[in-house]
């Protein structure tokens, strides 16, 4: 039996990047035979940026509801909340002793985030973020971690930490691997195809899962494209290729099919249709979301059951690790 583990932060609006790069794949692949799936809300990661307590709690429930909405099935996948399983914080402290300041200083996410105000003023939690992430995965002996491209550096560090621990103490942790989608591992910003689509960038650069149709249609109309007006997927045309990827996912059509359909038609028609397709699909998804989100009792039950199932595995691993280190 192979284990799949991945998480998502409740720190703002979810985008179609989160959906296509991670959540949709989690739902699609959970039916594969021979796999156990664990998906969690990474709320301890969220507090590396200051959060309002009420809003964080609300967003935690929102994420669970979004997971159910996109088809993650609590009968097939364990859904849990990171902060509710103390082993996550505990393993992080232990793993801190198997990673160097130099390794953490190389992480691009930390470098990017500390660019504005300098390293010295950053809180340690932000610096330590990848170690908490390593613990999230190693606690469960994960085989595969389905993530978007932006997380691969963190997973590589996780592997290095696990390897170091194993070298010193003997085989303790399984070495996991990041699994990336061939097509959707990096959905790009609508304004700048060199940057990933992100909820922390300007509002017109991303499409939120909860966005209304008018705004979606407007944003796709305004999306940056090159000037040759030919709808084709190519490395040299990153903007239209990004839009084609989104189209292909939402319409469930291949690039070939779409290219044929739009032969001789310009970007204007294509972008308009893309806006219609995405907004229609998101409208349906949003309707399901609001029904699921309204039933907070059910969400609480899903979380309680998930926490209990994940907690058993995490605590067992924690006991093994503590035993090895003479801590228990």
Q: Which residues contact 323 (CB under 8 A, 6 or more apart)?
A: none
Q: Is 196 in the site for ligand TYM (CB under 6 A)?
A: yes
* Nearest one of 251, 249, 255, 209 to 231, comparing CA atoms: 255
* Residue 139, phi then psi, degrees to nearest 5: -60, -30
Q: Is 30 in the site for ligand TYM (CB under 6 A)?
A: no
Cβ 129 to ligand TYM shortest distance, Å: 7
Residues contacting ligand TYM: total by CB under 6 A: 24
Catalytic-labelled residue, pool 177, 199, 230, 322 = 199
Q: Does the annotation count 271 as an active-site position?
A: no
| Contact pattern from residue 37 through residue 66 relative to ligand TYM, giving x for each residue in contact according to CB under 6 A and a dash for the rest | -----x--x---------------------
Q: Does the annotation count 196 as an active-site position?
A: yes
* Nearest one of 94, 108, 85 to 157, comparing CA atoms: 108
In the list 3, 4, 17, 62, the residue contacting ligand TYM (rule: CB under 6 A) is 17
* Residue 191, phi then psi, degrees to nearest 5: -95, -25
* Nearest one of 278, 173, 194 to 241, comparing CA atoms: 194
CB-nearer residue toward ligand TYM: 21 or 74: 21
| Contact pattern from residue 143 through residue 162 relative to ligand TYM, giving x for each residue in contact according to CB under 6 A and a dash for the rest | --x-xx-xx-----------
Q: Is 186 in the site for ligand TYM (CB under 6 A)?
A: yes
Question: Which sign, positive or negative, has the C-alpha torsion 65, 71, 74, 79?
Answer: negative
C-beta pairs of 95-98 under 8 Å, 24+ apart in sequence: 95/131, 95/134, 95/135, 95/138, 95/161, 95/165, 96/128, 96/131, 98/161, 98/164, 98/165, 98/168
Cβ 245 to ligand TYM shortest distance, Å: 10
Active site residues: 113, 196, 199
Which residues lie near ligand TYM (CB under 6 A)?
6-9, 17-18, 21-22, 42, 45, 133, 136-137, 145, 147-148, 150-151, 184-187, 196-197
């Amino acid at each position: 039996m192979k284990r799949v583990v991945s998480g998502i932060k409740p720190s703002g609006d979810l985008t179609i990047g989160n959906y296509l790069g991670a959540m949709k794949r989690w739902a699609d692949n959970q039916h594969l035979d021979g796999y156990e799936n664990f998906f969690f809300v990474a709320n301890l990661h969220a507090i590396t940026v200051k959060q309002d307590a009420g809003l964080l709690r609300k967003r935690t429930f929102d994420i669970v509801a979004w997971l159910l909405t996109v088809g993650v099935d609590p009968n097939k996948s364990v859904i849990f909340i990171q902060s509710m399983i103390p082993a996550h914080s505990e393993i992080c402290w232990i793993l801190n002793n198997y990673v160097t300041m130099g390794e953490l200083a190389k992480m691009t996410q930390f470098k990017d985030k500390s660019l504005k105000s300098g390293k010295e003023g950053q809180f340690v939690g932000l610096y330590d973020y990848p170690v908490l992430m390593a613990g999230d995965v190693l606690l469960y002996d994960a085989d595969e971690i389905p993530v978007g491209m932006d997380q691969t550096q963190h997973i590589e560090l996780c592997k290095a930490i696990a390897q170091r621990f194993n070298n010193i103490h003997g085989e303790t942790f399984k070495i996991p691997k990041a699994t990336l989608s061939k097509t959707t591992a990096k959905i790009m910003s609508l304004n700048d195809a060199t940057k990933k689509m992100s909820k922390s960038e300007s509002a017109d650069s991303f499409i939120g899962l909860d966005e209304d149709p008018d705004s979606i249609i407007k944003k796709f109309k305004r999306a940056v494209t090159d000037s040759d007006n030919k709808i084709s997927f190519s490395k040299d045309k990153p903007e239209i290729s990004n839009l084609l990827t989104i189209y292909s996912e939402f319409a469930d059509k291949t690039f070939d099919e779409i290219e044929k359909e739009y032969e001789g038609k310009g970007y204007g028609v294509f972008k308009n249709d893309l806006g219609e397709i995405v907004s229609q699909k998101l409208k349906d998804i949003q309707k399901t979301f609001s029904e699921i989100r309204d039933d907070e009792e059910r969400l609480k039950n899903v979380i309680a059951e998930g926490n209990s199932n994940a907690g058993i595995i995490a605590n067992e691993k924690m006991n093994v690790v503590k035993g090895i280190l003479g801590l228990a």
